[in-house]
Amino acid sequence: MNIALEHPDQPEVVQLIEALDAYQKPLYPPECHYGIDIAALSAAHVLFAVARDERGAAVGCGAMVLEPAYGELKRMFVRPENRGQGVAARVLAFLEGEALGKGCTRFALETGISQPEALAFYVSAGYLRRGPFGSYPDDPFSVFMEKSAT
């Protein structure tokens, strides 16, 4: 598997984001969706990583939005058929490493209460629950987490 920073506007990557949206949209009310679009993922302060298998097919992705006080993890997704192979852990470690290289030592995320696998994954990666951050409202469908690299 290869993980690298890539542009998110590639057809294969857009399909990953669309699959993530298709999975999440039925789980939460529309006002509780906080995903960012392809244009936002292309911004200069966003690290967007793609995991590719040995054939070069995109199997997972994730982003780290670098804010002044923290990096926010966004758009983490692994195709269902590629889960259980360590793809998410490798994408997360890659993004954290890239963010650290840019001086970011605190990571935060928002995920949903109806995604127990994601919650367990982030806990296993060292993330702890916290209150809302940034411009997020105190949403009963959201779980906020953070991790310090120091």
pLDDT-derived band at 136 (thresholds 50, 70, 90) equals very high
Q: What is the pLDDT of residue 30?
A: 87
Q: What is the pLDDT of residue 91?
A: 98
Number of domains in the chain: 1
Q: Which residues pair with 45 in a beta bridge?
A: none
Of the candidates 78, 45, 133, 48, the one whose C-alpha atom is nearest the C-alpha of residue 142 is 133
Residue 110's CATH number: 3.40.630.30
pLDDT digits 0-9 by tens, 50-93: 999 999 999 999 999 999 999 999 999 999 999 999 999 999 99
Task: In whole angstroms, give the CA distance from residue 71 to residue 91.
Answer: 15
pLDDT digits 0-9 by tens, 5-50: 999 999 999 999 999 999 999 999 988 889 899 999 999 999 999 9
Q: What is the pLDDT of residue 149?
A: 86
Q: What is the pLDDT of residue 61?
A: 98
The pLDDT of residue 150 is above 80: no
- Kindly report the backbone phi and psi dihedral angles of residue 56, in degrees, each rounded to the nearest multiple of 5, phi listed first: 90, 5
∠41-46-47 over CA atoms, to 5°?
Answer: 105
Q: What is the mean pLDDT of residues 126-140?
A: 96
Burial 100-124 (b: 16+ CB within 10 A, else e): eeeebebbbbbbbeebeebbebbee
129: part of which helix (H) or strand (E)? strand 128-130
CA torsion sign, 108 to 150 to 69 to 17? Answer: negative
Task: In whole angstroms, give the CA distance from residue 31 to residue 60.
Answer: 26
Question: How do strand 106-112 and strand 71-78 relate by DSSP bridges?
Answer: parallel
Q: Which domain holds residue 95?
A: 2-148
